[in-house]
């Protein structure tokens, strides 16, 4: 399971402030903590308050790369901001993200090709987030076709069926679960399937419980990557256990410890 740590995000006030004031130690601490607790990649998002997102992206990437070696997921709606990051990432980066809109895909897949990056494709377009498995699949197919057109290896494509908050769109959770399985059958080699787990529980109580329950269900359905808070220990324990039950790792009494020693 590819685990992308979500905590370096300018939506969080302390991160936004650290970026604005160039407080490297705060960012680096977050990077180190997330990797220590199991992140195999880190998301980098300067959030909506950034006054100079391109420069902030550059600073964030440099600051993070100074202390950890994991690949980065460059998270921005602006292609030029992503490109600033792509220029200096040491490990192969993930672009987070493109929608299924043709003009956006042309820009993002063009960048991916130029910088040998992987891409997260959101199954949404200008008309918004789909509300059924069928429409998610249609958009996923559009993204896969475009990626192939650009010569992107489909293993390097992460399809995101988009989780919606449970209290807003409860029926969508099961649609997402079913989409995961279908996405994996879209092409060969199969694409990665990913989602941002925290979206499921925006603004609701019992977040941790709901997140980890849903994550194990999604893993059983074929999820291969996830964006989450790796500092949530119970969540990571559930992830590790789900993979164990799917026979991805060999059991031993200290299986949680063993996984973390990887």
Contacting residues toward another protein, per CB under 8 A:
249-254, 257-258, 261-262
Taking the complex as a whole, the smallest distance from the CB of residue 117 to another protein amounts, in Å, to 20
Coil vs helix vs strand at 2: strand
Taking the complex as a whole, the smallest distance from the CB of residue 143 to another protein amounts, in Å, to 27
Taking the complex as a whole, the smallest distance from the CB of residue 249 to another protein amounts, in Å, to 7
Taking the complex as a whole, the smallest distance from the CB of residue 240 to another protein amounts, in Å, to 13
* CA proximity to 88, closest of 121, 61, 118, 52: 61
Contacts of 190 (CB under 8 A, 6+ apart): 154, 155, 184
Nearer to another protein, 127 or 153 (CB): 153
Nearer to another protein, 21 or 252 (CB): 252
CB 163 within 8 A of CB 196: yes
Taking the complex as a whole, the smallest distance from the CB of residue 255 to another protein amounts, in Å, to 8
Nearer to another protein, 40 or 208 (CB): 40
Nearer to another protein, 126 or 252 (CB): 252
Nearer to another protein, 21 or 247 (CB): 247
User: Longest C-alpha distance within the chain, in Å?
Assistant: 51
Distance, in Å, from the CA atom of 155 to the CA atom of 153, rounded to the nearest integer, reads 5
Q: Terminus-to-terminus CA distance in the chain, angstroms?
A: 12
Other C-beta atoms lying within 10 Å of the C-beta of residue 2: 18
């Amino acid at each position: 399971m590819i685990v992308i740590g979500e905590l370096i995000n300018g939506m969080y006030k302390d991160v936004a402030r650290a970026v604005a004031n160039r407080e490297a130690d705060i960012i680096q601490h977050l990077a180190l903590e997330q990797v220590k607790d199991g992140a195999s990649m880190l998301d980098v998002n300067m959030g909506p308050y950034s006054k100079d997102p391109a420069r902030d992206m550059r600073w964030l990437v440099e600051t993070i790369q100074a202390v950890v070696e994991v690949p980065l997921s460059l998270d921005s709606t602006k292609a030029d901001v992503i490109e600033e990051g792509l220029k200096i990432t040491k490990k192969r980066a993930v672009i987070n993200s493109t929608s299924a809109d043709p003009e956006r895909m042309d820009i993002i897949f063009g960048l991916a090709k130029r910088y040998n990056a992987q891409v997260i494709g959101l199954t949404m377009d200008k008309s918004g987030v789909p509300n059924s498995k069928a429409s998610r699949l249609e958009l996923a197919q559009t993204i896969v076709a475009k990626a192939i057109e650009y010569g992107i290896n489909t293993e390097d494509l992460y399809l995101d069926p988009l989780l919606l908050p449970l209290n807003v769109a409860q029926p969508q959770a099961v649609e997402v679960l079913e989409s995961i399985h279908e996405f994996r059958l879209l092409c060969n080699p199969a694409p990665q399937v990913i989602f941002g787990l925290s979206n499921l529980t925006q603004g609701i109580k019992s977040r941790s419980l709901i997140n980890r329950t849903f994550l194990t269900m999604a893993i059983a359905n074929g999820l291969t990557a996830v964006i989450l808070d790796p500092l949530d220990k119970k969540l990571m324990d559930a992830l590790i256990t789900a993979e164990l039950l799917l026979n991805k790792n060999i059991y031993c009494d200290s299986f949680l410890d063993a996984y973390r020693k990887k």
